[in-house]
Every structure is written in structure tokens, then in C-alpha cells.
Amino acid sequence: MKKQSVGLGLLGLGVVGGQVARVLTEKAETLSEQVGCPLVLRKIKCLPQDLNRPLTKELPAGIFTTDNEEFFKAPDIDIIVELIGGENPAYDYQKRAITTNRHVVTANKEVIAKHGTELLKLAQQHDVGLCYEGSVGGGIPLIAPFKHDLVANDITGVYAIINGTTNYILTRMAKEGIGFATALQNAQQLGYAEANPRNDIEGIDATYKLAILATLAFQTEVKPEDIYCEGISRIGSRDFRYAREFGFAIKLLAIARQSDNAIEVRVHPVLLPEETFLAKVDGVYNAVEVEGDLVGKVLFFGEGAGARPTSSAVIADIVYSAQKIARGISGKTRLRLDSGRSIKPMSAVETEYYLRITAADRPGVLAQIARTFGDHLISISSAIQRETENGGQSAEIVIMTHPAKEAAMQQALAELARLPVVKEVSNFIRVENV
């Protein structure tokens, strides 16, 4: 049935919610034209402290509520836009919206990564849509290209810099030679990192986003806990110096790739050849490289967060859902989960490696280290040795390997740590020749 107007309910009036409310008000006329009938913001559920925000003076007073029941029972709301973030109560709110036959638009990566498949199935049963373009890469179109423009492809790989905070920290470390703690502190002062930065620096935020992209790309349900995850706090300024000597940059990369009949899904720091596009993505920018059998390589690049870019994605989802509602077309989101691919265990993944080892500075040490690698069928492609600053008693040995299985590398690392000549395996980073 065609509608005379489409009503919206907004949950959350924070950074993104506030901007979405502003755009819906300022661009009401053009957005309504695109929908084909008036697009009306009818209710905003916020917390009591939000009622003092300047934005509340620009909107009709009756639109605001702090009461859940008033919000969910308000008449003529066709689309609920969830922008409060976090797993709960956002997950419950999305479920309640769907089961009361309202379309849902959200930018909530945590809820979609953890519960997206279940919510999409529920939305199918209720013949409504669930759209989440803003959940990955802020304003960069990623979800719609996977759902529409790339559907004819067998996706072979997705390589993504999808956390602006860590990319900012790594860029400062690379360009200025500063340590991790200083770079993190700077990022916090500039508002690029939260007071509790754990989700970003430990790679958790990137695993949520990779779970969403990998599920779409490979038609296989990928949950955050399926993804191998390592953050950036181990990276030292010395690693950047050595990486540069070998011709590499260091980035936190989210990788989903076809491998045999399975998929690899992992988030960890990598050495990337300096001449590659992803190695040159600096600061808070995000970039995603997708490889498909027909399209070849395509690149998506832009601002991966922020109120304005994210509102661009959220409003696009609102207009898309509203167009369907206005025309009386089924809102159902199609869910393709039919590939039957399994997830490759990390121990079976094969990459090249960079290792930085502190060892005794005496003859034969490098030979002992090389023998340990040889025992695990790992071959060294190049090595450099530098004296450390403690009067020539120890040396820093940096080794690059040929491709080796992760299980073999972990065993070799454990054995290296037990060698009397090895003082410390200071770092090891995987190398990706994307």
C-alpha cells in the first residue's frame, strides 16, 4: 500500500544522531522529493541530559521523549533509526522495532557484527528492512556495493584499513619516530582516540567491521570471535625504522580472503610494501581494497568516521527504506548465506614474517637462530644485524622469512625464546604482499 508520508523515530542524540536529526531537518524538502512523499521525523528518544543540547531548541518540543514506551508506541513511525551504540540495549531496541514491523536503520557495528544474521532473518519474517551502511567505514559506501554492485563476482579478497584511530597512531609513529604511548596520548588529546582506547588499539573495533564485510563478501556467517585479532600496542618505533629499510610500511590490516575452499579472517599489524596503495593511506582515513573475479581490484577510500560522513551513510539508508515504504514495495532485506565455506584456523594460515630478536653479540648466534628456523622448514629471505646501545654486549637481529605456516612459526618462536643466546624475541609482524 502506498503511503502519504513516511515517519521516522530516532534513538540517540549523540554525535551521529544529532547530525542525522540536523540533516533531516535542514534537507527535509530535497529528501522528501527523493522519497516521493514527506519524510517526517516524528520522535526522538534521548537521555534526560540530552534535553539541554542546543539542537533541542531547533526542533518541535513534543518530538523529544526520554521514555521507551512513549517512543515505541508513538503512531506513524515506519523506520526506527538506532544510533545509541553498544550492544545493549541497542540490540533489544532493534529487535523490538523489527517485531513491531518497523524498518531499522543503524550504524551500530557491534550489534550487526554479533547479531546481524539473526536480526536480518527476523526482519525477513516481518517483511521489513535492516540497513547498516554507516556501521563500516563511516561515509564510505561499502555495504551497498557488496549487496548490489559486486554481486556478479566471486570475491577473492578484502584488505581493509578500517580503524582510523590506529591508522592515525601508526602514521604519527612512522612519520615522527615517536613511541606508541606518545602517539596514543596525542590521538586522545585531538579526540581521535577515546579515554578508554582498548576497542580500537586492540583491534576489536576492526574485527566487528571485518565480520560484517566478510559475511557479505563470502556469504558465510562470520562472527567477531571467528576472527584472529591482534592490536598495535606491541609495535615500537624501531620496527618502523627496520620496516623502512626493507621497503615496507606498518599498518593494522583487516583481511578476509579465500584460501583453498575456506576463508581466512584476521586483524593484525602487517608490513605492507611501501609502493602499495594501502601503505599510503595515512591519518584517520580508511581504505578497503576488494578483489573480485570479474571486477579485478577496486578501492574504496575516505573518511571512516565522524558525524558528517556517517550521517551521509545513515541518511542514504533512510531514503532507500523510505522509498520502498512510500511505493508499497516489500522492505525485505535478502540474506545470502549459502557458500558453506569454513573458516581456516590461524595455525594453518601462511604468510611471510618480520622478526626482531635481541641476542648475544658473539660469533655463531645467527647460525643457531637460522638452524631453529630450518628445523621448522622456515627459510630466511634476508637478515640484518645491528649492535644495541648497551656497549656491544647484545645485538639486534632482524629477519625476514619466506612464506611459512603460522603453526611452524609459533613453534620456532617458542624454541628461539629458549635458546641461551637469545635475550628476547622483541617483535614479530606478518608481511602481506597485497
Ligand X SMILES: NC(=O)c1ccc[n+]([C@@H]2O[C@H](COP(=O)([O-])OP(=O)(O)OC[C@H]3O[C@@H](n4cnc5c(N)ncnc54)[C@H](OP(=O)(O)O)[C@@H]3O)[C@@H](O)[C@H]2O)c1
Query: Interface with ligand X includes 142 (CB under 6 A)?
Result: no
Stretch that binds ligand X, among 149-157, 180-188, 281-289, 305-313 (CB under 6 A): 305-313
Pick out residues in 48-77 that bind ligand X (CB under 6 A): 49-50
Within 145-239, strands assigned E span: 155-161, 228-229
Query: Interface with ligand X includes 302 (CB under 6 A)?
Result: no
Residue 305, Cβ neighbours under 10 Å: how many?
22
Please say if 209 is a catalytic residue. yes
Query: Interface with ligand X includes 130 (CB under 6 A)?
Result: no
* Angle, in degrees to the nearest 10, between helices 164-176 and 180-189: 130
**Number of residue whose CB is nearest ligand X:** 14
* Angle, in degrees to the nearest 10, between helices 15-26 and 307-327: 60
Residue 392, Cβ neighbours under 10 Å: how many?
9
Query: Interface with ligand X includes 231 (CB under 6 A)?
Result: no
Out of 8, 10, 11, 355, point to the residue binding ligand X (CB under 6 A): 11
Residue among 84 and 322 whose Cβ is closer to ligand X? 84
* Cα separation values, 429 from 192, 264, 346, Å: 25, 17, 14
Out of 84, 193, 229, 263, point to the residue binding ligand X (CB under 6 A): 84
- Percent of the chain that is helix, strand, coil (3-state, to 5): 40, 25, 30
Query: Interface with ligand X includes 224 (CB under 6 A)?
Result: no
Q: Please report how many Cα atoms fall inside a 13 Å half-sphere around the Cα of residue 2, on the Cβ side.
A: 6
Characterize 325-358 residue by residue with b for buried, 16 or more Cβ atoms within 10 angstroms of its Cβ, and e for exposed: bbeeeebbbebeeeeebebbebeebebbbbbbbb
Backbone angles phi, psi at 420, to 5 degrees: -60, -30
Amino acid at 369: I
Distance CA 18, CA 310 (A): 11
Residue among 78 and 133 whose Cβ is closer to ligand X? 133
Residue among 50 and 396 whose Cβ is closer to ligand X? 50
The distance of closest approach from Cβ of residue 177 to ligand X in the complex, given in angstroms and rounded to an integer, is 29
Out of 36, 38, 85, 302, point to the residue binding ligand X (CB under 6 A): 85
Out of 112, 161, 305, 397, point to the residue binding ligand X (CB under 6 A): 305
Query: Interface with ligand X includes 163 (CB under 6 A)?
Result: no
How many residues are listed for the chain in this entry? 434
The distance of closest approach from Cβ of residue 385 to ligand X in the complex, given in angstroms and rounded to an integer, is 45
Query: Interface with ligand X includes 17 (CB under 6 A)?
Result: yes
Q: Which residue has the cell 570475491?
A: 155
Query: Interface with ligand X includes 139 (CB under 6 A)?
Result: no
Nearest residue to 156 (alpha-carbon basis) of 255, 300, 271: 255
What single-letter DSSP state applies at residue 6? E
Residue among 109 and 344 whose Cβ is closer to ligand X? 109
Residue among 62 and 363 whose Cβ is closer to ligand X? 62
Stretch that binds ligand X, among 6-14, 32-40, 183-191, 369-377 (CB under 6 A): 6-14
Peptide bond into 89 cis (omega under 30): yes
Nearest residue to 381 (alpha-carbon basis) of 268, 238, 258, 271: 271
The distance of closest approach from Cβ of residue 106 to ligand X in the complex, given in angstroms and rounded to an integer, is 7
Catalytic: which of 43, 109, 209, 324?
209
Out of 25, 47, 347, 433, point to the residue binding ligand X (CB under 6 A): 47
Distance CA 323, CA 418 (A): 65
Stretch that binds ligand X, among 40-48, 209-217, 224-232, 251-259 (CB under 6 A): 40-48
Out of 6, 8, 10, 16, point to the residue binding ligand X (CB under 6 A): 16
Out of 43, 45, 324, 356, point to the residue binding ligand X (CB under 6 A): 45
Residue among 47 and 181 whose Cβ is closer to ligand X? 47
Spell out, one character per residue from 382 to 411, where the chain touches ligand X: x when CB under 6 A holds, - when not. ------------------------------
Task: Tell me, by CB under 6 A, how many residues bind ligand X.
Answer: 24
Residue 162, Cβ neighbours under 10 Å: how many?
30
Query: Interface with ligand X includes 138 (CB under 6 A)?
Result: yes
Residue among 16 and 214 whose Cβ is closer to ligand X? 16
Stretch that binds ligand X, among 43-51, 271-279, 340-348, 414-422 (CB under 6 A): 43-51
Within 141-295, strands assigned E span: 155-161, 228-229, 248-259, 262-273, 285-292
Helices and strands (H, E) in the chain, number of each type: 15, 18
Q: Which residues are catalytic?
A: 209
Residues that bind ligand X (CB under 6 A): 11-17, 45-47, 49-50, 83-85, 89, 107-109, 134, 138, 305-306, 310
